[in-house]
Amino acid sequence: MKFFVDTGSIKDIESLMPLGIVDGVTTNPTLMAKEGGDPRKIIKQICQLVKGPVSAEVIATDAPGMIAEGRDWAAFDEHIVVKVPFTREGVKAVKTLADEGIKVNVTLCFSPTQALIAAKVGASYISPFIGRLDDIATDGMGLVQQIVDIYRNYDYATEVLVASVRGPMHVVEAARMGADICTCPASVIEACFKHPLTDIGLEKFLKDWAAAKK
């Protein structure tokens, strides 16, 4: 499973890249607003650091506007994946952009029918928002399982990008279901590293080694 970082923070990315596990980045308007700089400049920097797929979201809500923004993003950097919300207008835009060879990540997916339609129009990625479903007492990971099953039946090329991830158990479940990618806040990636028995074990090994040398 690929790991993407869900962030607009250069600091987060710089700290995670040396680990060798970051395959890409997803951004959204909210994450970019948090950073407080020129979003385009920050996204350019992210592309240079990651050299992998970097999702940048369109702001227009009509298909012609989304298509124009999508083309502009695609020309901006070779690593850009255009993020388009799942709406009727969004679907039209995805079809046009995908037919032109532009990679599209369909965002704000909350149902298996949305995921099926996104795949049919040629989305490169579908982003089911798991945490936001869990937040309203709905089964977020259940949606991922349904999408994985549907895509396998038809051999769609669309990759399942698990989004709105809240903790390491979402990562575990995504991997068990065979999702292609999990996009995580930096804090969730850090949490995936931690195990108290590793810390306790290492402390004892170091102590014992020091004692043996005496």
Q: Residue 59 is encoded by which pair of tokens?
A: 């702001």
164 binds ligand E4P (CB under 6 A): yes
Per-residue string for binding with ligand E4P, 54-93, x by CB under 6 A?
----------------------------------------
Q: Which is nearer to ligand E4P, 115 or 204 (CB)?
A: 115
- Give least dist CB 181 to ligand E4P, A: 10
Please name which of 47, 117, 110, 113 lies closest in space to residue 89, comparing C-alpha atoms: 117
Which residues 169-208 are close enough to bind ligand E4P by CB under 6 A? Answer: 183
Amino acid identity of residue 158, one-letter, is T
Which residue of the set 83, 92, 95, 194 is catalytic? 83
163 binds ligand E4P (CB under 6 A): yes
Q: Report the distance separating Cα 32 and Cα 39, nearest Å.
A: 6
Q: Report the distance separating Cα 76 and Cα 34, nearest Å.
A: 22
28 binds ligand E4P (CB under 6 A): yes
Q: Report the distance separating Cα 53 and Cα 82, nearest Å.
A: 10
Q: Which is nearer to ligand E4P, 81 or 195 (CB)?
A: 81
Q: Report the distance separating Cα 208 and Cα 160, nearest Å.
A: 46
Per-residue string for binding with ligand E4P, 119-138, x by CB under 6 A?
--------x-x-xx------
Q: Which is nearer to ligand E4P, 67 or 133 (CB)?
A: 133
To the query of whether residue 44 is one of the catalytic residues in this protein, the response is no
Judge contact between 80 and 47, C-beta under 8 A: yes
Judge contact between 94 and 104, C-beta under 8 A: yes
Chain centroid to CA 112: how far? 18
**Catalytic site residues?**
83
- Interface residues with ligand E4P (CB under 6 A)? 6, 26, 28, 107, 127, 129, 131-132, 163-164, 183
